[in-house]
Structure 1
Amino acid sequence: MKGPFNKDLSSRSVRVRILSTMLAFMAGGLLIAGFVSYYVQFTVLDDRVNAELLQEVDEFQRIAELRQSDVGGNESTEDLMRAAIQSAVPGEHESFLAFLDDRPQLKPQEQAFELDNPDTVEQILSTHTPGSTIFTHLEINGEAIPAAVASVELYSDDTPGIFVAANRIQNQRDQIWISAVTYTVVSLATLLASALVGLVVTGKLMRPIGDLRNATREITIDDLERRVPDPGTRDDVAALAQNFNRMLERIHEGYAHQRQFMSDVSHELRTPLTIIRGTLETTDLSDPADVSEGHEIALDELDRMNNLVTDLSTLAKTGRPDFVKFAPVDMAEFARNAMSRIEHLGPRRWLLDFGADVMARADEDRLTQAVVQLAANAVRYSEPHTTIELKVQHMSLSGRSMIMVGVRDEGIGIAKADQARIFERFARVSDSGGESGSGLGLAIVEAIAQAHGGSVSLTSRPGHGSTFTIIFPQDNTPVPDPEER
Structure 2
Amino acid sequence: MGARKSRREGERAAGRSWTVRTQVLTTMLAFMVVGLAVTGVLTYAAQFRSLDERVHSELLQEYSELRLIAESTTDDGSFTHSTVDEVLKTATDSAAPSDNESVIALLDGRPAHKPRTQDFELIPDDSAQSQRVLQQILAVHEPGRTVTTTLSLGDRELRVLVASVQVTGDDAEGVYVVANDIGVQKQDLWQSVLTFAGLSVITLLVAGWVGYVVTGRLLKPLGALRSATEQITVDDLEHRIPVPSGNDDIAALATNFNRMLERIQVGFAEQRRFMSDVGHELRTPLTIVRGTLEMTDVGDPADVREAHEIATDELDRMGRVVGDLSELAASARPDYVRPKPLRMQSFARSTFARIERIAEREWELARTADVVADADEQRLTQAVVQLAANAVRYSDEGSRIRFAVDQVLGPDGPEIHLGVQDEGDGIAEDDQRRIFERFTRVDGARGSGSGLGLPIVRAIAAGHGGVVRLLSTPGRGSTFTLVFPQFAGSTNDGADEAGEGEDDEPDDAGGAENRRGPADAPRTRTRRSS
1:111 paired with 2:118, answer: yes
1:377 paired with 2:384, answer: no
CA distance in 2 between counterparts of 1:263 and 1:5 reads 39
1:168 paired with 2:181, answer: yes
Q: Contact 1:403 / 1:474 at 8 angstroms: preserved in 2?
A: yes
1:272 paired with 2:278, answer: no
Which segment drifts farther, 12-21 or 125-134?
125-134
RMSD: 3.7
Task: Find 1:188's aligned residue among 201, 208, 212.
Answer: 201
Task: Find 2:25's aligned residue among 19, 31, 41.
Answer: 19
Task: Find 2:91's aligned residue among 84, 95, 105.
Answer: 84
Task: Find 1:444's aligned residue among 445, 452, 456.
Answer: 456
Task: Find 1:179's aligned residue among 173, 189, 192.
Answer: 192
Note the C-alpha offset of 1:417.
5.3
CA distance in 2 between counterparts of 1:179 and 1:70 reads 56
CA distance in 1 between counterparts of 2:11 and 2:481 reads 61
- The C-alpha deviation readout for 1:123-159, integer Å capped at 9, x for no partner, is 4334334444332233423755212222333457554
Q: Name 2:272's counterpart in structure 1.
A: 259
CA distance in 2 between counterparts of 1:77 and 1:413 reads 136
Which segment drifts farther, 132-141 or 392-401?
392-401
- The C-alpha deviation readout for 1:12-56, integer Å capped at 9, x for no partner, is 432222121111101000010000110010010000001111111
CA distance in 2 between counterparts of 1:168 and 1:437 reads 109
- The C-alpha deviation readout for 1:259-304, integer Å capped at 9, x for no partner, is 2332233222223333444556667889988777666554443332
Task: Find 2:222's aligned residue among 189, 209, 214.
Answer: 209
Q: Name 1:52's counterpart in structure 2.
A: 58
Note the C-alpha offset of 1:107.
1.7
CA distance in 2 between counterparts of 1:317 and 1:256 reads 14
CA distance in 1 between counterparts of 2:12 and 2:383 reads 61
CA distance in 2 between counterparts of 1:421 and 1:300 reads 28
Note the C-alpha offset of 1:110.
4.3
- The C-alpha deviation readout for 1:284-339, integer Å capped at 9, x for no partner, is 88998877766655444333222212222333444568756778766444433322
Q: Contact 1:120 / 1:138 at 8 angstroms: preserved in 2?
A: no
Going from structure 1 to structure 2, the CA distance change for 1:254 and 1:109 (only over 3 Å counts) comes to same
Structure 1, unmatched stretches of 5+, are 480-485
When the two structures are superposed, what TM-score results if normalisation uses the length of structure 2?
0.77
Q: Name 1:221's counterpart in structure 2.
A: 234
Task: Find 1:386's aligned residue among 396, 399, 415.
Answer: 399
Q: Contact 1:413 / 1:460 at 8 angstroms: preserved in 2?
A: no
Q: Name 1:458's counterpart in structure 2.
A: 469
Note the C-alpha offset of 1:358.
5.5
Structure 2, unmatched stretches of 5+, are 1-7, 124-129, 492-530
Q: Contact 1:458 / 1:466 at 8 angstroms: preserved in 2?
A: no
- The C-alpha deviation readout for 1:214-240, integer Å capped at 9, x for no partner, is 221221111111222344454322322
Note the C-alpha offset of 1:474.
6.4
Note the C-alpha offset of 1:477.
8.2
Q: Contact 1:454 / 1:470 at 8 angstroms: preserved in 2?
A: no
Going from structure 1 to structure 2, the CA distance change for 1:186 and 1:53 (only over 3 Å counts) comes to same
Note the C-alpha offset of 1:166.
0.9
Equivalent residue letter for 2:223: G
Identity rate, percent:
51
1:312 paired with 2:325, answer: yes
When the two structures are superposed, what TM-score results if normalisation uses the length of structure 1?
0.83
CA distance in 1 between counterparts of 2:330 and 2:277 reads 18
SS in 2 for 1:391: strand
- The C-alpha deviation readout for 1:359-399, integer Å capped at 9, x for no partner, is 66765444332221110101112234432111134566689
1:348 paired with 2:358, answer: no
Note the C-alpha offset of 1:242.
2.6
Equivalent residue letter for 1:8: G
Which segment drifts farther, 216-225 or 131-140?
131-140
Q: Contact 1:19 / 1:199 at 8 angstroms: preserved in 2?
A: yes
- The C-alpha deviation readout for 1:186-226, integer Å capped at 9, x for no partner, is 22232233333333333333332122222212211111112
CA distance in 1 between counterparts of 2:399 and 2:241 reads 57
- The C-alpha deviation readout for 1:402-449, integer Å capped at 9, x for no partner, is 6543212233444555555544433444x4555442121122223444
Which segment drifts farther, 78-87 or 390-399?
390-399
Equivalent residue letter for 1:380: R
Going from structure 1 to structure 2, the CA distance change for 1:383 and 1:368 (only over 3 Å counts) comes to same
SS in 1 for 2:219: helix
Q: Contact 1:426 / 1:438 at 8 angstroms: preserved in 2?
A: yes
Note the C-alpha offset of 1:105.
0.9
Q: Name 1:99's counterpart in structure 2.
A: 106
